[in-house]
Amino acid sequence: MLDIKFIKENPDLIKEAARKKHLDFDVDAFLEVEQKRVSLIGEVEGLRAKQKKVGEQVARTGTSRDKVSVMKELKDMKDELQEQEAKLTEVMKEWQGLMLQVPNIPDVSVPEGGGEPDNQEVLIKGAPPKFEFEPKDHIELMTKLQMIDLERGTKAHGFRGYFLQNAGADLSWAVWNYARAFFSKRDFRPFVAPAILKKEFFYATGHLPREAEDLYKTQDDDYLSGTAEVPMMAYHGGEILNEADLPKRYLAFSPCYRREAGSHGKDIKGLIRVQEFFKLEQLIICRADHAESEKFHEETNKNYEDFIESLGLPFRRVLICGGDLGGNKVKQYDTEIWFPSQQTYREGSSAAYYHDFQTRRFNIRYRAENGKPRFAHSLNCTAAATPRLLAALVENYQQADGSIKVPEALVPYMDQEVITSPHGQESPRAT
């Protein structure tokens, strides 16, 4: 959400933002509604002021004859007030609906473009591994090594279900623990965050109404979050923070749920696209300063790239174009990791900043030097998302005999340098 004053003073910027983001939003129509809103507020407030004064008179009036005439005046006024209030309620509803659609202003460095194909590759790092053999995909590798069981995953969960087991489960814990240590060294405070959250917070982050189809819902009208961004923003909701305590730097672990509705044809098997996964997320709340937002955006993105590099994985940085940016963001990088089986890069993280677009809706402020509360800035970026990251690791570290070399950084967390066979013995499945 943007400041209504800002919108009124800069309608052309909003128009330009909508154009660049390829969003269908009629700024002029919105401004008309805004004008209606302001004039109705004026009328209603004027009537209320009158009503108060007359009410006081009633309390003081002595004779009953005086009372009768004043009461009649009041009655008429009340009827009018009710009528205007009803109108205002209606206009407010429309206004609020439109306010949710006003797009955030994209940064000048965001490239033009209508969608994913127009995103720009701005950095490539790490050479894809060269294999003396035909590399296998993670499904084959991990199934053979009994690191995953997709068949039983589907039996238990349904479409896109999976079990991690043996070295597969160990590898998952190793990545989490390594990531926790890695990001703690970079001054992030660790959290384990809830995923079942109240509906309102999804509007505040901007996930609703846009992604309603992609969210799971409970019978209590709560939603399951697809990212710890939502609980970590809700964490400080409605608070006034001390400027001296900024920036807040959080590393939040949470389960993540995404229905993946509308992508049934994509990645139909394996660990690339699942409906339940686990993620560590970097989240920063900082002072309302563009330079600071930009600085932390670059930093969090670099943190992830450094993390991936320390795991020895090839990756590239993609600058997201206007049409693929989403209404709420100022700018976004995706880090994509190399998958040998697909001979392509797949998304591993997403780093975005929002200015005060989210904090305005969450009502997260801080007391600035002049003593006045100000809306803070917020930004977030993936730190480690499993099991997709596990798939990248096994594919890039596979060896000719089908075993997996454990990346050096993870060895201390695995107690194992090569994954060759399952920990425990399991008798063949009776059919």
Partner RNA sequence: GGAGGGGUGGCAGAGUGGUCUAAUGCACUUGUCUUGAAAACAAGAGUCCGAGCAAUCGGACCGUGAGUUCGAAUCUCACCCCCUCCGCCA
Catalytic residue set: 258, 273, 347, 350, 388
Q: How many residues bind RNA (CB under 7 A)?
A: 24
The reply on whether position 108 binds RNA by CB under 7 A is no
The reply on whether position 72 binds RNA by CB under 7 A is no
Query: Which residues are bridge partners to 398 per DSSP?
Result: 404
Nearer CB in complex with RNA: 20/377: 377
The reply on whether position 54 binds RNA by CB under 7 A is yes
The sign of the dihedral angle between the CA atoms of 360, 365, 368, 372 is positive
The reply on whether position 41 binds RNA by CB under 7 A is yes
Q: How far is the CB of 35 from RNA (least distance, A)?
A: 10
Helices (H), 100-224: 138-144, 150-157, 167-184, 200-205
Q: Using the structure block, give the residue that is written with the tokens 């309603």.
A: 212
Q: How far is the CB of 55 from RNA (least distance, A)?
A: 4
Collapsing DSSP states into helix, strand and coil, what is residue 247? coil
The reply on whether position 368 binds RNA by CB under 7 A is no
The reply on whether position 19 binds RNA by CB under 7 A is no
Supply 265's token pair. Answer: 């044809």
Nearer CB in complex with RNA: 372/429: 372
* Beta carbons within 10 angstroms of residue 310's beta carbon: 14
Nearer CB in complex with RNA: 240/261: 240
The reply on whether position 371 binds RNA by CB under 7 A is yes
The reply on whether position 98 binds RNA by CB under 7 A is no
Nearer CB in complex with RNA: 4/33: 4
The reply on whether position 61 binds RNA by CB under 7 A is no
The reply on whether position 51 binds RNA by CB under 7 A is yes
Part in contact with RNA (CB under 7 A); list of ranges 37-45, 122-130, 187-195, 276-284 = 37-45
Nearest alpha-carbon partner for 408 in 300, 309, 271, 281? 309
The reply on whether position 45 binds RNA by CB under 7 A is yes
Nearest alpha-carbon partner for 129 in 315, 397, 393? 397
The reply on whether position 157 binds RNA by CB under 7 A is no
Nearer CB in complex with RNA: 11/55: 55
Instruction: Classify residue 206 by burial, with Cβ atoms within 10 Å: 0-12, 13-18, 19+.
Output: buried
Q: How far is the CB of 105 from RNA (least distance, A)?
A: 18
Options 59, 108, 291, 430; binder of RNA; rule CB under 7 A: 59
CA distance 13 to 35: 19
Part in contact with RNA (CB under 7 A); list of ranges 56-64, 320-328, 382-390, 420-428 = 56-64
Q: How far is the CB of 70 from RNA (least distance, A)?
A: 9
Instruction: Classify residue 76 by burial, with Cβ atoms within 10 Å: 0-12, 13-18, 19+.
Output: exposed
What letters, b where the CB count within 10 A reaches 16 and e where it falls short, cover 85-106? eeebeebbeebeebbbbbbbbb
CA distance 384 to 306: 12
Residue 184 near residue 338 (C-beta atoms within 8 A) = no
Nearer CB in complex with RNA: 200/408: 200
Nearest alpha-carbon partner for 418 in 430, 426, 410? 410
Interface with RNA by CB under 7 A: which residues? 4-5, 38, 41-42, 45-46, 48-49, 51-52, 54-56, 58-59, 71, 74, 78, 89, 240, 371-373
